[in-house]
A and B are shown apart, each in its own frame.
Chain A
Amino acid sequence: MKEKEPLIRLTRRQNMAKSKIWLIRLGALVFAIILGGLVFIIAGANPLTAYGTILSGSLGKVTGVRQVVKTAVPLLGTALALAPCFAMKFWNIGAEGQITMGALAATFFALNMANSMPSPILLIVMGIASIIFGAMWAAIPAIFKANWGTNETLFTLMMNYIAIGIVGWLQGGPWEGKPGSQIIPMFEKTAVLPKVLGVHIGWIIVLLITIFMYIYMSKTKHGYEIKVLGESENTARYAGMNVRKVTIRTACLSGGIAGLVGFMVASGANQTLYSDVAGGVGFTAITVTWLAQLNPFAMVAISLMLAVLSKGASSIQTTLGVPASISDIITGIILLCMLGCEFFINYKMIFRGKEHHEEALPLVTKPEIKGEEAAK
């Protein structure tokens, strides 16, 4: 009979040791790097040299490190902004627009109030304005969802285009610097974030947000409400939580942080505003949040890693003549492997005739895999 059993069976694993789980994840990362090496070979470069160039190009010099940190700041900040939304299963993919609106609000004060107040106060006003605008941009879809059950995924996505469109209009219209330039003038010195260790102070702000987000999600009533609501709306109502309020409040928090990121990018990195201020960070941050499995500290490491890859990519382009976009391919491979390895953490595959000592499920579609209690 055994030779007729299914070729591959899946068994669910239970209680795998923490160390083994991390070993599997590390293995997936190594596997992804090897796969990435194949991509380099196809592109005509020696993988070892290529990876070496990525590392030396990004972390080899102080300026490189500064560049990496500068790239990682908005990525980390936005990933942190998305964390509470994702924990609540509110699929906010509108960070792009929230960043843009935050940057817009900050720019308004930078352009109009630069000479009427001292720099620290101006910067604080810009920060607060960016938080309010980012929060507002996230609140609109949240209010619609909470009251009329609209789909937040589409809604937040559409809000991105509106935000980008508004900035595009300002750029060529009311806020245009030299007529016909389509460019908003550079900020005055008073409206630019100061530098600490060669990088704008935003990196300290996002590290503070990291700690805040960790405490907020794991120790506060708000964090508890978010987690319960994410598991089941019915349970949240049963526990007496105000689902509408929690939804809107959490979206505001998320949008507010994204807005602050917009302020940091505009005032710290770019020192001006243009419609591509978010530059895809709002989407890449989704990857960071997922890879970190909503853990704020893991987000720090992952956003740094992605920053290294993207900075290193420009050096391989100049030194090896390999297109920089290859780093996007490698990022994609890493993401795929990291998410894919979760399957091996949850399940074990048994090949025909190998082992018969654990739960086996034939590969037929079964809606839910529970124990024998499933009948209840």
Chain B
Amino acid sequence: MSETTHAVEFKGITKRFGSNVANDSVDLYLDRGVIMSLLGENGSGKTTLMNMLAGIYFPDEGEILIDGKPVTIKSPKDAFDNKIGMIHQHFKLVDVFTAAENIVLGLKEEGKLDRKAISAKVHEIGERYGFEIDPDKKIYEMSVSEKQTVEIIKVLYRGADILILDEPTAVLTPQETSKLFKILRAMRDDGKSIILITHKLNEVMEISDVVAVLRKGKYIGAVKTAETSEKELTEMMVGHKVSLNIERPDPVDPKPRLTVAGLTVKDTEGMTKLDDVGFIAYGGEILGIAGIAGSGQKELLESIAGLRHISKGSIIYTPEGKNPAELVGKTPMEIKDAGVALAFVPEDRLGMGLVGGMGMTGNMMLRSWNKGKGIFVDTKGPEKLAEQVLVNLDVKTPGIDYPVRKLSGGNVQKVLVGREIAQSPSVLMSAYAVRGLDIHTSFTIYNMMTEEKMKGVAVIFVGEDLDVLLELCDKILVLCGGKVSGLVDARKSTKEEIGLLMTKLGGKEAN
């Protein structure tokens, strides 16, 4: 490690999006052989800053130095030429190609494609850092974690010395995460510089040597991980002292509200997405649903909401003091008309829950447009509701008629969650309700879920952060490959136990 030159140095980097300053003269450096976590709430400018290093954006002001020399990074190719590689959150791989083919894709090498040489080099990289990879396996046969491995090898193959990983653990189980961390440490010891974009504090503490914090586009500072605490980091991120406690009162008189049995759902291509799923959701309880992304969470919630064709099984809904009703076979409208109040916060915010081109009022109307007689829509009610959500959840928007597509992800989510809770539902389903929200708003949402639970609502909460699921929920249902692999008591279970259930079928086999 040299005394004066750093592997990467940002000098006075400023980046503006219209009137919004995403990065405000950021000065930041990183040395060789160091793992740095870039920490910050959503909208703090982490990804923007890294995108400038990776050649996706170009800075408005300031300069980037690599090994002490100023460089111009205009395109991802320039970034590669400077030995910078970014592993994006959404993988950019060709499904029908093998790992090796994806790795060399886009490289301009002389002569014929020498598969043997490529495989040998891939193997060599794998052995050096402890990857397990089959170069001839097709991408569509791979698990998420294997795909990520391919992405990492892809940048190493191109000789990257500086690796940027954007929220790499979001899609991994705890076991896969610790495997990844082992590899990252091996790379660090080999002299590579690694930047992790994340907002999971426990992982930051575990893996990184240095933590750099951004807040509202400004660089707040960097601290050695060994000399800091989760509490201090949170305060740096948020800018003031925060108390982060999820209250979990014991359920009062839980009653079965939704009884799901033998639920089997296939997608349009005939692939089985849910296989014989059964559980009971109680009013007055929060039922968490855990699982690797794509294990059937989305299909389960959509089936209950009447948006999926159900091949087999039943969903019995028992409203407070009324007779049970079968929901299977009903349209979303019929489910609503039957007096079933299902508030549903879908995973795909703009694709399903909201209309991007409309303002808050128009989006509030999605739930009430059909109310009232006559041919005209009522705009007064939705307008009032929009104002209410705006104030209660502190939505940042130029006006209630400003298209929600142009709002930041966190604000979009607030609009959606605010509307669904305002339905005063008897079953509240949410998928990744806090995705994209800052810490403060996340806790506001958790508390709202708990409030609904105490009102006797059956809350179904699909989450990705196991720590939150364990703290917030009463019970946790674990899905694996469309099947129920376990139902645990959230007060007594551990992250490791759930992690095993997420990957292995049948709780008994897990060991």
Do they bind each other? yes
Interface residues of A (CB under 8 A from B): 1, 4-6, 9, 11-15, 219-225, 227-228, 231-232, 234-235, 237-242, 356-362, 364, 366, 371-376
Interface contact A362-B376, CB-CB below 8 Å = no
On whether A372 and B333 interact (CB within 8 A), knowing A1-B70, A232-B352, A359-B18, the answer reads no
Q: Which of B41-49, B314-322, B472-480, B497-505 contacts A (4 or more CB under 8 A)?
A: B41-49
Interface contact B166-A375, CB-CB below 8 Å = yes
The reply to whether the CB of B146 lies closer than 8 angstroms to some CB of chain A is: no
Given contacts A362-B58, A362-B75, A364-B56, 7 further A-B contacts (CB under 8 A): A14-B406, A225-B369, A231-B356, A235-B352, A242-B331, A359-B17, A360-B60
On whether A231 and B57 interact (CB within 8 A), knowing A5-B74, A359-B16, the answer reads no
Within 8 A of A (CB), among B330-351: 331-333, 336, 344, 346, 348, 350-351
The reply to whether the CB of B392 lies closer than 8 angstroms to some CB of chain A is: no
Interface contact A237-B307, CB-CB below 8 Å = yes
- From B46, B56, B356, contact of A366 by CB (8 A): B56
- From B19, B354, B398, B408, contact of A235 by CB (8 A): B354
Interface contact A15-B333, CB-CB below 8 Å = no
Neighbouring A residues of B19 by C-beta, 8 Å:
14-15
Interface contact A375-B47, CB-CB below 8 Å = yes
| Bound CA span A376–B408, Å | 10
Would you give the shortest CB distance from A318 to chain B, in whole angstroms? 48
Interface contact B332-A357, CB-CB below 8 Å = no
Interface band, chain B: 35 or more
On whether A358 and B355 interact (CB within 8 A), knowing A6-B74, A14-B18, A373-B436, the answer reads no
Would you give the shortest CB distance from B406 to chain A, in whole angstroms? 8
| Bound CA span A220–B379, Å | 10
| Bound CA span A376–B197, Å | 12
Would you give the shortest CB distance from A327 to chain B, in whole angstroms? 35
The reply to whether the CB of B357 lies closer than 8 angstroms to some CB of chain A is: yes
Interface contact A5-B72, CB-CB below 8 Å = yes
Would you give the shortest CB distance from A249 to chain B, in whole angstroms? 13
The reply to whether the CB of B229 lies closer than 8 angstroms to some CB of chain A is: no
- From B348, B357, B367, B375, contact of A234 by CB (8 A): B348
Neighbouring B residues of A362 by C-beta, 8 Å:
55, 57-58, 74-75
| Bound CA span A9–B15, Å | 13
On whether A1 and B408 interact (CB within 8 A), knowing A221-B370, A238-B344, the answer reads no
Neighbouring B residues of A360 by C-beta, 8 Å:
57-58, 60
Interface contact B357-A235, CB-CB below 8 Å = no
- From B18, B75, B76, B352, contact of A12 by CB (8 A): B18
The reply to whether the CB of B435 lies closer than 8 angstroms to some CB of chain A is: yes
Closest 8 CB pairs of A and B: A14-B18, A240-B333, A373-B409, A375-B47, A359-B17, A372-B48, A376-B436, A4-B72
Interface contact A239-B46, CB-CB below 8 Å = no
Interface residues of B (CB under 8 A from A): 15-20, 22, 42-48, 55-58, 60-61, 63, 70, 72, 74-76, 89, 166-167, 197, 305, 307, 331-333, 336, 344, 346, 348, 350-358, 362, 365-367, 369-370, 375-377, 398, 406, 408-410, 435-436
On whether A373 and B63 interact (CB within 8 A), knowing A227-B355, A228-B366, A362-B75, the answer reads no
| Bound CA span A237–B308, Å | 10
- For B60, give the chain A residue with the smallest CB separation: A356
Neighbouring B residues of A366 by C-beta, 8 Å:
56
| Bound CA span A263–B18, Å | 51
- For A220, give the chain B residue with the smallest CB separation: B375
Neighbouring B residues of A1 by C-beta, 8 Å:
63, 70, 72
- For B407, give the chain A residue with the smallest CB separation: A373
| Bound CA span A240–B423, Å | 15
Neighbouring A residues of B356 by C-beta, 8 Å:
231-232
- For B357, give the chain A residue with the smallest CB separation: A231
Interface contact A6-B58, CB-CB below 8 Å = yes
Would you give the shortest CB distance from A364 to chain B, in whole angstroms? 5
Listed by A's residue number, 22 A-B pairs whose Cβ atoms lie within 8 Å are A4-B74, A9-B58, A228-B358, A232-B352, A234-B348, A238-B307, A239-B366, A239-B369, A240-B331, A358-B17, A358-B60, A359-B16, A359-B60, A361-B57, A364-B75, A364-B76, A371-B20, A372-B43, A372-B46, A373-B409, A373-B410, A375-B197
On whether A15 and B398 interact (CB within 8 A), knowing A228-B355, A362-B57, the answer reads yes
| Bound CA span A6–B63, Å | 14
Neighbouring B residues of A4 by C-beta, 8 Å:
72, 74
Interface contact B358-A219, CB-CB below 8 Å = no
- From A6, A9, A357, A374, contact of B16 by CB (8 A): A357
Would you give the shortest CB distance from B48 to chain A, in whole angstroms? 4
Neighbouring B residues of A239 by C-beta, 8 Å:
332, 366-367, 369
- For B349, give the chain A residue with the smallest CB separation: A376
- For B332, give the chain A residue with the smallest CB separation: A240
Neighbouring B residues of A376 by C-beta, 8 Å:
42, 409, 435-436
Would you give the shortest CB distance from A362 to chain B, in whole angstroms? 5
Would you give the shortest CB distance from A252 to chain B, in whole angstroms? 16
| Bound CA span A39–B365, Å | 50
Neighbouring B residues of A364 by C-beta, 8 Å:
55-56, 74-76
- For B306, give the chain A residue with the smallest CB separation: A240
- For B167, give the chain A residue with the smallest CB separation: A375
Neighbouring B residues of A228 by C-beta, 8 Å:
355, 358, 366, 369
Neighbouring A residues of B369 by C-beta, 8 Å:
221, 224-225, 228, 239
Neighbouring A residues of B55 by C-beta, 8 Å:
362, 364
Would you give the shortest CB distance from A5 to chain B, in whole angstroms? 7
| Bound CA span A360–B351, Å | 27
On whether A240 and B370 interact (CB within 8 A), knowing A357-B60, A373-B410, the answer reads yes
Interface contact B18-A13, CB-CB below 8 Å = yes
Neighbouring A residues of B353 by C-beta, 8 Å:
235, 238
- For A232, give the chain B residue with the smallest CB separation: B351
Neighbouring A residues of B352 by C-beta, 8 Å:
232, 234-235, 238
* A6, A238, A357 — most chain B CB neighbours (10 Å): A238
Interface contact B408-A220, CB-CB below 8 Å = no
Neighbouring A residues of B70 by C-beta, 8 Å:
1
- For A369, give the chain B residue with the smallest CB separation: B17
Neighbouring B residues of A361 by C-beta, 8 Å:
57-58
Neighbouring B residues of A222 by C-beta, 8 Å:
375
Neighbouring A residues of B376 by C-beta, 8 Å:
219-221
| Bound CA span A364–B15, Å | 17
Neighbouring B residues of A237 by C-beta, 8 Å:
307, 332
- For A356, give the chain B residue with the smallest CB separation: B60
Neighbouring A residues of B409 by C-beta, 8 Å:
373, 376
Would you give the shortest CB distance from A88 to chain B, in whole angstroms? 13
Would you give the shortest CB distance from A147 to chain B, in whole angstroms? 15
Interface contact A235-B197, CB-CB below 8 Å = no
Neighbouring B residues of A223 by C-beta, 8 Å:
377
- From A219, A234, A359, contact of B351 by CB (8 A): A234
Interface contact B351-A235, CB-CB below 8 Å = yes
Neighbouring A residues of B74 by C-beta, 8 Å:
4-6, 362, 364
On whether A372 and B336 interact (CB within 8 A), knowing A232-B355, A239-B367, the answer reads no
Would you give the shortest CB distance from B443 to chain A, in whole angstroms? 18
- From B18, B22, B72, B332, contact of A372 by CB (8 A): B22
| Bound CA span A239–B18, Å | 33
- For A3, give the chain B residue with the smallest CB separation: B72
Interface contact B18-A373, CB-CB below 8 Å = no
Neighbouring B residues of A373 by C-beta, 8 Å:
42-43, 408-410, 436
On whether A374 and B47 interact (CB within 8 A), knowing A15-B398, A221-B375, A359-B16, the answer reads yes
Would you give the shortest CB distance from B342 to chain A, in whole angstroms? 11
| Bound CA span A356–B13, Å | 12
- From A12, A234, A240, contact of B17 by CB (8 A): A12
| Bound CA span A221–B167, Å | 42
| Bound CA span A242–B336, Å | 14
Would you give the shortest CB distance from B79 to chain A, in whole angstroms? 11
| Bound CA span A223–B369, Å | 11
